Amino acid sequence: MTPPKIKIESLDFYYNNHQILSNINETIPENAITSIIGPSGAGKSTFLSLFNRLWETTPGARVEGRVLARFHHSFMDINTPKFSVTQLRRAVGMVFQMPNPLPMSIFNNVAFPLKLAGIKEKEAVQNRVTAAIKACGLWPEVKDRLEKKATTLSGGQQQRLCMARALVMEPEILLLDEPTSSLDPRSGAMIEELMVDLKQRCTLIMVSHQPDQVEKIADHIIDFTPGPES
């Protein structure tokens, strides 16, 4: 197995007084696809939200324990207040279950994270957007209509657009919350292929409900199915 990218140490997650995750200890390997499986309500999506601290947007949510991620050679606890959440989210991309393009043009959707990061130089933006769209195999389909509204694309295209948008910042970690569950099988297969390709440059963590998908592409599995004792 490849060296660890993230280490989770004795982690508890609470929503108000309700404990969602208890005493989690896991290691997530670099340049691999880690799949999180388990029944609905087991806390899979919550677990995924630990890595970009998106859980902080839920009122009443609270974390105890450490999430150590390796950016620039050394492990750092991403939950310490001095770790900038904005910087973290620029290094950890996320793709949601439902494609969520913003109500703007195709080009501007992919360029949006660059705009947020203050990257303005026109040529650089152009090149990075093009590269990200090409990496997601979407270029031939959209190259003639980059200024069109992103919501005019099909569901599968929208999801690949969202992946392009997540990749334009060249994240080291990519989170995927059931990325293919709202798509038809063909679009789903395209996303799966894309994920395998992406292993070379990112660490992927995916929540999945589809056993065949997990078997096909996952290198490492974290199972949230409750044990017989609970």
Partner 1 sequence: MNRWGEKAVYALSVISCMMLFGSVATLLCYLLIKGLPALNLGLIFGSTPVGDALLLKRQVFDGIFPAMAGTLALILLAITIAVPLGLLAGIYMAEYSGRFTRNVFGFLFDLLSGIPSIVVGLFGFSAILFLHHHVSEALVPSLLVSALSLAFLVLPYIVKTTQMALETVPRQTRVTGLALGATKLQNIVFCLIPESFSTILGGIILAVGRCAEDTAVIMLTGAVASAGLPNSLFKGFEALPFYIYYISSQYADQAELNQGFGACIVLLLICATLFILAAIIQRKVKHTLLYRH
Among 5, 44, 69, 107, binds partner 1 (CB under 8 A): 107
117 binds partner 1 (CB under 8 A): yes
Pairing between β-strand 61-71 and β-strand 74-77 as defined by DSSP bridges: antiparallel
- Whether 198 and 30 have beta carbons less than 8 Å apart is answered as no
Residue among 26, 30, 55 at smallest CA distance from 38: 26
| The dihedral sign for the CA sequence 106, 172, 225, 77 | negative
Among 3, 60, 81, 103, binds partner 1 (CB under 8 A): 103
Stretch that binds partner 1, among 27-35, 91-99, 194-202, 203-211 (CB under 8 A): 91-99
Q: Which residue lies nearer to partner 1 by CB, 21 or 169?
A: 169
Residues 8-47 that bind partner 1 (CB under 8 A): none
**Residue linked to tokens 């899979």:** 44
Mask for 126-165, x = binds partner 1 (CB under 8 A): --------------------xx-x---------------x
Q: Give the residues lining the site for partner 1 (CB under 8 A).
A: 52, 54, 57, 86-87, 89-90, 93-94, 96, 98, 100, 102-105, 107-108, 111-113, 115-117, 146-147, 149, 165-166, 169
